[in-house]
Structure 1
């Protein structure tokens, strides 16, 4: 080729619960363009990337939330399309999550790839890097030439996945021709908290990927768990294998799809699970290991919850051991910028009386009155202005931005060392690495919210049925969709 390869980079990265009343607007996203966008990808200096001209478009990324406001999505889509029209490319790295919902649409990523193809045509190759909790719709599969996703949950291979997607793309462009690809949908819908790669069967299932990927004629193999908290037809498990040999890709996809389906009855929660009261009963036993973590999983902002359901907090405050200070506990957290603003100007140690939570997702018990003392005020890079209100033995964290308390430094900003706490309730699903290592005991509370772990309680209307475990008649069709 007489000129360097030109590869564009862009995308919109968010997972969205359609069961959450929250709406994700432009202000919720971190948006990068130009050199700042290119600087995200350290592998541009690797030997395989030499001689490639990388063309930054726009990348928007947000904490999981509710459906994206249409105006925000349309603006970023138009910016991507406009950039591609102005700078013809040989390929594109589509850096997305794969479970974005846009209010009024059923397949946001399918719509995005269709808009991209409308301007670049069928010639350039497109490689998508995704979260394994994304969805692969027929439209997304049709519009992309290469698709890959994370192979770990919790996700410790995010940047490795993006590099793999980019490297596969560059190598395919240099090789010439189009990769063969095969998609097998697996009619399974499970919460991520049942599919952690720390434990079986997901650990063994994902361990099969390198062997398939190493076969002659195979470029990449990927398994998507799918996203359980969106009511859309595309939400289900998927396997995609790409390669230089069509038969090898199809056989690999069928094999991994069958392995996923055959393991369906083995999936279970990654920790003992129960109601919030059952979790508290276990945590308050005299012989309970401390710190004892409880996942307030139904309102997990890391999966799209509104982050202000007060159910778990109300159950904690109902326990006399916590109210009177015999047990040191932490609740992280409630999103309530109004409550945080009301604490500004107060001295640490001042008495406070503040109503918090239940403003976005008003499930019972709704806003709670917290009467105690101001323990700390701080600035957090994720949560904005944050506060801790002490009620008896319980520190209640309040934030001005939705955030997930997954890093120990975030607790320390509010003066809390979790090692000294008896109970830590956190709005999360499976524990992220730092919390997992800190926890001496752990249970998953099946609490209400926009990302309720009990999928039978969610009012699905658009999901493609039958699907396991919601429908006893679900069955697996191993025939792949090819391209």
Structure 2
């Protein structure tokens, strides 16, 4: 039994004006692909001959250029053309938007089907924040979404979809999933796995997977910051055999009813306050660290990372003996200027993209405190994706990066040359805290800042959403 494996992963924020290019992806090919996928061990346990496809993962950002999409797609298709396989296993996101094409996942799978035919089993691991086109269900056999927010179960999900694929190959049956698109768009910061109603929804998914005839059950929250006809929540249920199709359809409707009955329970898990009030809240807490999420410029949801709203507010404040850091501000030019200096040099640099009212330039004057590496996140959190320089201005440190990114772990601070324990208040370019920081946080607050990932999604200028979709 031969199975091709690969990853082509990107979450697209269409409100981010900076398009995504080939150079913005972490890309490996050949046998190095096998070292990055948890599915490989599960397949090898089943005596499968694993064929490496590609591994291309991009940090959340703007629309993917057509040439970038075609580059990675052609790489994968060329491997398929040269190798006979019994099945295909892929780790995708579900919310890739491509210039002039639309859903990248749908376009990719349709091209694969055109090459391998309709009978070859295809298994997908997808992010729970995927905006899934209904048409995709016609071209794939196995699907399962992550079942944690923040995401910590990618390894388990890859293993489950890999084992399900080998089962289908052995059965020699072409199973088809049940799928329903839900008429709701849910703000991501209102849906955390340890809070209701998502906690109960995850429990219901587990209960459905215990039913006879059900292989996998998935709920997709969707990615709210994508102006697409496919944006929104959905449900996928995969039957075990062809004879279980009706059971899958009934289970799918059970999940739809369960979720829709709870749709108005989604709400912020953390304090969500206007920018100035968010800083007030953080600074009045005695213990540390307190994390402030610059939620409107959340790079983990694809925002650019260049907004200076919270930076300006912090510079205008008396921090009352506390130490704060902004990690980080994306500005290639400012980084390049700072990087010419040595640590310890006095520096002065204008920072801010200047692309809109929220990224107004700010003059920073201080000392170059540190230089370091910028790590990625999710599928790239151990990869160096850029560099940073940190300016110290008395009680306020500002990290300047040469790409949009967010510090999601303690290691991100270490690789930047910083110690997170030095700070009372830490401003991050993200929404909800990632798991590693939740474990060390004394407090957290969502600053309702403006930008490409603005949390009040009902106020966003959607143009492509169907009129009947409800914004939550």
Shorter-chain TM-score: what band? over 0.9
Given the alignment of the two structures, is residue 467 of structure 1 paired with residue 465 of structure 2, yes or no? no
Once the two structures are TM-superposed, the CA of residue 367 in structure 1 deviates from its matched residue by 1.8
Using the alignment, how far apart are the partners of 1:241 and 1:79 within structure 2? 30
Question: What is the TM-score normalised by the length of structure 2?
Answer: 0.94
2:440 maps to what in 1? 438
- Contact 1:49/1:170 (<8 A) preserved: no
Given the alignment of the two structures, is residue 316 of structure 1 paired with residue 333 of structure 2, yes or no? no
2:345 maps to what in 1? 350
1:122 maps to what in 2? 118
Q: Deviations over 1:24-44 (max 9, x none)?
A: 111110112111112223453
Partner secondary structure for residue 290 of structure 1: coil
Using the alignment, how far apart are the partners of 2:45 and 2:397 within structure 1? 49
Give the alignment partner of residue 40 of structure 2, picking from 37, 44, 50.
44
1:375 maps to what in 2? 369
Once the two structures are TM-superposed, the CA of residue 99 in structure 1 deviates from its matched residue by 0.6
- 1:205-220 alignment, distance < 5 Å: 205-220=201-216
- 1:157-236 alignment, distance < 5 Å: 157-236=153-232
Question: What is the TM-score normalised by the length of structure 1?
Answer: 0.91
2:67 maps to what in 1? 71
**Worse-matched range after superposition: 78-87 or 116-125:** 78-87
Q: Alpha carbon RMSD of aligned pairs, Å? A: 1.7
Given the alignment of the two structures, is residue 259 of structure 1 paired with residue 268 of structure 2, yes or no? no
Partner secondary structure for residue 60 of structure 1: strand
2:430 maps to what in 1? 428
- Contact 1:314/1:365 (<8 A) preserved: no
Using the alignment, how far apart are the partners of 1:227 and 1:376 within structure 2? 35
1:479 maps to what in 2? none
Using the alignment, how far apart are the partners of 1:238 and 1:29 within structure 2? 27
Using the alignment, how far apart are the partners of 2:357 and 2:171 within structure 1? 55
Give the alignment partner of residue 330 of structure 1, picking from 325, 336, 342.
325
Once the two structures are TM-superposed, the CA of residue 189 in structure 1 deviates from its matched residue by 0.6
Once the two structures are TM-superposed, the CA of residue 156 in structure 1 deviates from its matched residue by 0.5
Q: Deviations over 1:399-427 (max 9, x none)?
A: 12322101112223445333332211111
- Contact 1:88/1:120 (<8 A) preserved: no
- Contact 2:358/2:450 (<8 A) preserved: no
Using the alignment, how far apart are the partners of 1:110 and 1:94 within structure 2? 13
Using the alignment, how far apart are the partners of 1:216 and 1:129 within structure 2? 22
- 1:131-142 alignment, distance < 5 Å: 131-142=127-138
1:249 maps to what in 2? 248
Partner secondary structure for residue 208 of structure 1: helix
Once the two structures are TM-superposed, the CA of residue 46 in structure 1 deviates from its matched residue by 4.2
Once the two structures are TM-superposed, the CA of residue 205 in structure 1 deviates from its matched residue by 0.7
Given the alignment of the two structures, is residue 30 of structure 1 paired with residue 26 of structure 2, yes or no? yes
- Contact 1:383/1:402 (<8 A) preserved: no
1:406 maps to what in 2? 408
Once the two structures are TM-superposed, the CA of residue 139 in structure 1 deviates from its matched residue by 2.1
* Structure 2: 5+ residue stretches without partners: 376-383
Tell me how many residue pairs correspond in the alignment: 461
Partner secondary structure for residue 161 of structure 1: helix
1:480 maps to what in 2? none
Give the alignment partner of residue 150 of structure 2, picking from 154, 163, 180.
154
Once the two structures are TM-superposed, the CA of residue 336 in structure 1 deviates from its matched residue by 1.7
2:380 maps to what in 1? none
Once the two structures are TM-superposed, the CA of residue 252 in structure 1 deviates from its matched residue by 1.1
Given the alignment of the two structures, is residue 366 of structure 1 paired with residue 360 of structure 2, yes or no? yes
Cα gap change, 1:42 to 1:99, in 2 (>3 Å): closer
**Worse-matched range after superposition: 341-350 or 390-399:** 341-350
Cα gap change, 1:236 to 1:352, in 2 (>3 Å): same
Q: Deviations over 1:307-363 (max 9, x none)?
A: 1111121121121x13xx72211111011222122123433332211011215x433
Using the alignment, how far apart are the partners of 1:24 and 1:331 within structure 2? 24
Using the alignment, how far apart are the partners of 1:337 and 1:248 within structure 2? 54
Once the two structures are TM-superposed, the CA of residue 9 in structure 1 deviates from its matched residue by 1.7
**Worse-matched range after superposition: 58-67 or 100-109:** 100-109
* Structure 1: 5+ residue stretches without partners: 471-483
Using the alignment, how far apart are the partners of 2:55 and 2:418 within structure 1? 35
Cα gap change, 1:48 to 1:375, in 2 (>3 Å): closer
- Contact 1:240/1:253 (<8 A) preserved: yes
Cα gap change, 1:416 to 1:46, in 2 (>3 Å): closer
2:381 maps to what in 1? none
Using the alignment, how far apart are the partners of 1:189 and 1:389 within structure 2? 39
- Contact 1:135/1:226 (<8 A) preserved: yes
